[in-house]
Amino acid sequence: MDINKIVKKMTLEEKVSLMSGKNFWETQEITKHQIPSMFLADGPHGVRKQAAAADHLGLNESLKATCFPPAVSLANTWNKELVTKIGTTLGEEAKAHRVNILLGPGTNIKRNPLCGRNFEYYSEDPYLAGQIAAAQIVGIQKNDVSACVKHYAVNNQEERRMVIDSVVDQRALREIYLTPFEMAVKQGEVKTVMSAYNKVNGVFANENEFLLKTILREQWGFNGIIVTDWGGNNDRVLALKAGNDLEMPGNAGETDLEILKAVQSGEIEEEILDEAVKRLLEVTLKTNSNITGSPDSFSVEKNHQVAYQAATEAIVLLKNDNVLPLKKGKKVAIVGDFAANPRYQGAGSSIVNPTKLESTLDVIAEYEFDFIGYAKGFKRYGKKSKNLISKAKKLSAKAEVILLYLGLDEITEVEGLDRPNMKLPENQLFLLEELSKLNVPLVVVLSTGSQIELPFIDKISALVHGHLLGQAGAKALLDVIVGKVNPSGKLSETIPIKYEDVSTAKYFPGKEKTVEYRESIYVGYRYFEKNQIGVRYPFGFGLSYTNFLYSDLTITSQGVSFKLTNAGKVEGKEVVQFYVGMKDSKIFRPVKELKGFAKINLKPEQTKQVNIAFDDYTFRFWNQETGKYEVETGKYQIYINSSLNKNELLDEIEVMGTLEKIVSLQTVLPNYYSGKINNVSDEEFEKILGYPIPNPHRKYVKRNRIVVGYNTTVAELRYAKGWTGRFFAWAMRVAPKLLKVIGKKQLANTIYMGMYHQPMRGISRMTNGMISWSQLEGLLIMFNGKFFKGLTKFRKEARIKRKKNKMKKKEAKISG
């Protein structure tokens, strides 16, 4: 079909109708022009297609699909080929479920370990995050299903995520936060991008022309569609001007009418609308043509095995005092609720309904050690239980090895809420302490979607970190523990000794209106290494049951080459890591940065030549003076490492840059050059920011009261002038507490995360016309202290809406 011809035939009203969804998951169709609807579904680690009741928080059940390891674990594989295979399988299942756009992957940077959605993101490092994201996108789109990279951009927390202003300097923006998206676009050739909820330097991401048009479309060459996050539209006309193509979910055409009026009045050119329609049709027609007639089923077992393979390579062995692999016949006690009820995925919009979920207890009979029994040990939600601990100790005393399954529960790590701390629950720590007194080798098996403090590390014999392993994780863990699989995962993020050591601990999650990224480029290992701060486990770390030797490093203008040998007695896979540093730089830099990696499989005594090419990202830095990427002339250190802190091979290379001279700013930015970012002054931050630091506080009128507006959150209604607003905020605080009292903790968290930080505009945008924009205006009047005036308007607009709906139904009946 000729898209240009279709658009020419369409009326203005028809074109405008395509700019928002038909309902929660589908786009509008226009039968007259043979334009079908598209179905969008969550899917970072599995297809979450809701066939009945719809929501974006994981409340209602979805169709069965393979649950693969989430991004937190996929990144630990460091295996691009494997991730592409997973993406291909995801795409096949999406096609079988008739999904046009799979809403993933998420490639936001793990700026802070407390971000509640870190399980859905890859890494603290932009290069690793971007490479893994691009690999997954390539796989998904092999099936002519569109991937959708998200959340663009600088969305690194859940607290106040709908309205918070991320205040970040251009260098950090480009080098840290945008690089993964750049790779997704340039290497992955992603067809859809989801804009973030938050503001970036004062402008909502979805109407940020600098982000959407200048960088994404013009500089990176992106020609696909940009979709809002669900309910993420603030000003529809500004968003369309900035480059947004589709608002989701549907809102009964209210914002379509805003666009219609804007075009008719000349506020926006019709050509801008036409381009958005063309981009939307390009993806719609291509994905539908390939979905139509394709198989509507998939092999559950085959895809389960792909999930298993991914899980085996994602497991990170962090400690092993010669306890693992377990030998045949060993008396083994298994303790911990996670062995019976695995924690295998995160919570929120990414919840997958797995096709074949396995627990450790389900598969334990397949193994040749002497399984002497299972004890729950602790309550998943709640305080320590003397009875459960007593039973666990009694069982464990009879064992030769204890496998202790610990982790974070489903309500601790969830979309919409950040974690309060980096600790395991007290009841689990107490159980570990008690078991460690038995003098029986203690192997801890961890299931968490983000990093935790490990104060108990000296009291255990081994630590196997699975993070979140998807539906096939239980067998993968046991296969690593008994040595059937040699562990090959390595950490995609640093595990600090304590939370206070983290570079962003002082600045996260910001203040009332803004979050200041004062640390600039010093995120994760870049900060720890610059300041020589000890960590529990460094970025890129992971043990194996074999040993690898590195030798014969050669550096050319094209890249690096060296030999890797398996010096052990078992086959294994090694993640080789290529870092670049510049000791004598005139700009502030980390000690070194990841610029390449490869995963190499070797049999015992086998040697392979490893080649890693330089690319566009190897030596570049963002020059705020010239407004482009540059290369500094000078001598660079080349590190070939097995982890960040273990240099296997080291040499230098002289590089001719793009600038003749760079002026050092060390005298005006002393804390950035030293890396002491906790000491950064307002003057230093403003210097790299390029504009005055925004006021981070909300504006009060008399007596701690605010004027409630469209972007006032439910949480902020406690400061409303009107009693109705304060009552509404109180009810939203009390309801989750009551649900927790009656044991509905997950539901309580879901309600809290879905509503508490929701701005007022979301009451209209997220209800598909149930509450119109005009009705919302009535609510705001009430919340601002004029109860009867607001109530009158609300009821009047409700009557008008009912009349309009009746007329629409009547017209539809006549035309039908």
**What is the spatial distance between Cα 814 and Cα 553, in angstroms, rounded to a whole number?**
78
Q: CA nearest 303: which of 135, 37, 512, 95?
A: 95
pLDDT at 89: 98
pLDDT for position 296? 87
pLDDT at 350: 81
Three-state SS at 762: helix
User: What type of residue is 559?
Assistant: G
Active centre residues (catalytic) = 229
| Chain segment 545-555, per-residue pLDDT in tens | 999 999 999 99
Interval 27-42: pLDDT, tens: 999 999 999 999 999 9
Longest dimension (CA), the chain: 83
Instruction: Find out whether 548 and 574 touch, Cβ atoms under 8 Å.
Output: yes
Give the pLDDT of residue 292.
Answer: 84
pLDDT at 750 over 80: no
Give the separation between CA 283 and CA 487, rounded to whole angstroms: 40
The arithmetic mean of pLDDT across residues 139-160, rounded, is 96
- Cα separation, 68 vs 304, in Å, equals 8
Q: Give the pLDDT confidence score for residue 58 in this predicted structure.
A: 58
Burial class of 592 by CB neighbour count within 10 A (0 to 12, 13 to 18, 19+): buried
The conformation of residue 79, written as its DSSP 8-state character, comes to: -
* Cβ–Cβ < 8 Å for 193, 542: no
The whole-angstrom distance between residue 139's C-alpha and the CA centroid of its chain comes to 18
pLDDT digits (tens, 9 = 90+) for 426-465: 999 999 999 999 999 999 999 999 999 999 999 999 999 9
pLDDT of residue 330: 96
pLDDT higher than 90, residue 19:
yes
| pLDDT above 80: residue 812 | no
Q: What is the pLDDT of residue 799?
A: 93
Q: Which long-range contacts (CB under 8 A, 24 or more apart) does 386-394 make?
A: 388/431, 389/430, 389/431, 389/434, 392/335, 392/431, 392/434, 392/435, 393/434, 393/435, 393/438
Higher-scoring residue by pLDDT: 762, 536: 536
Virtual torsion, Cα 267, 272, 277, 280, nearest 10 deg: -120
Which residues lie across from 463 on neighbouring strands? Answer: 319, 444
pLDDT in tens, 328-387: 999 999 999 999 999 999 888 889 999 999 999 999 999 999 999 999 999 998 889 999
Burial of residue 353 (CB within 10 Å: 0-12, 13-18, 19+) is middle
Task: Tell me the three state secondary structure of residue 283.
Answer: helix
Tell me the C-alpha distance between 487 and 482, whole Å. Answer: 11
Write down the mean pLDDT value for the chain: 95
Confidence (pLDDT) at 120: 97
* Three-state secondary structure call for residue 327: coil
- Per DSSP, helices labelled H in 292-402 are 300-314, 337-340, 360-363, 386-396
Look up the pTM and report it.
Answer: 0.95
Q: Tell the residue number behind the tokens 């801890």, with chain if given.
A: 444
Residues 6+ apart with CB under 8 A from 150: 103, 104, 105, 106, 107, 108, 193, 194, 196, 229
Burial class, 214, CB count within 10 angstroms (exposed 0-12 / middle 13-18 / buried 19+): middle
Contact 680, 694 (CB under 8 A): no
Q: Which amino acid is at 656?
A: M
> Is a pLDDT exceeding 80 seen at residue 178?
yes
The answer to whether the CB of 757 falls within 8 A of the CB of 232 is no
Alpha helix (H) residue ranges in 266-319: 270-291, 300-314
Per-residue 3-state assignment (H helix, E strand, C coil) for 433-497: HHHHCCCCCEEEEEECCCCCCCCCHHHCCEEEECCCCCCCHHHHHHHHHHCCCCCCCCCCCCEEC
- The secondary structure of residue 211, as a DSSP letter, is I
Paired tokens of 475: 């067998």
Nearest Cα residue to 501 out of 459, 456, 532, 457? 532
Taking 70 as the threshold, does the pLDDT of residue 592 lie above it? yes
User: What is the rounded average pLDDT of the residues 388-412?
Assistant: 97
Bridge partners of residue 322, in order along the sequence: none
pLDDT (0 to 100) of residue 141: 98
Domains and CATH numbers, the chain: 309-516 (3.40.50.1700), 546-660 (2.60.40.10), 715-815 (no CATH)
Q: What is the mean pLDDT of residues 491-499?
A: 99
Among candidate residues 546, 529, 547, the one with its CA nearest the CA of residue 538? 529
- Compute the distance between CA of residue 673 and CA of residue 586 in angstroms, rounded to an integer: 9
Distances (CA, A) of 111 to 179, 422, 493, 518, 532: 14, 14, 10, 12, 19
What is the spatial distance between Cα 179 and Cα 108, in angstroms, rounded to a whole number? Answer: 10
| Residue (of 83, 167, 155) closest to 116 by Cα position | 155
pLDDT digits over 781-801, tens only?
A: 999 999 999 999 999 999 998
Kindly report whether the peptide bond that precedes residue 69 is cis, defined as omega within 30 degrees of 0.
Answer: no
Q: Residue 102: pLDDT band by 50, 70, 90 thresholds?
A: very high
Prior bond of 151 cis (ω within 30°) = yes
Backbone angles phi, psi at 709, to 5 degrees: -125, -170
Q: Structure tokens of 464?
A: 């196997």
Angle, CA of 753, 758 and 761, to the nearest 5° = 155
**Adjacent-strand bridge partners of 724:** none
| 249 prior amide bond cis, ω within 30 | yes
User: Which H or E element spans position 653?
Assistant: strand 646-655
The DSSP output letter for 224 is S
One-letter amino acid of 265: S
State mean pLDDT over 665-685.
Answer: 97
Instruction: Assess whether pLDDT exceeds 70 at residue 22.
Output: yes
- Per-residue model confidence (pLDDT) at position 807: 80
Give the confidence band of 425 by pLDDT, cuts at 50, 70, 90: very high
- SS3 state of residue 35: strand
Q: How far apart are CA 347 and CA 345, in angstroms?
A: 7
Determine contact, residues 316/490, Cβ cutoff 8 Å: yes
Is 406 in contact with 445 (CB distance < 8 Å)? yes
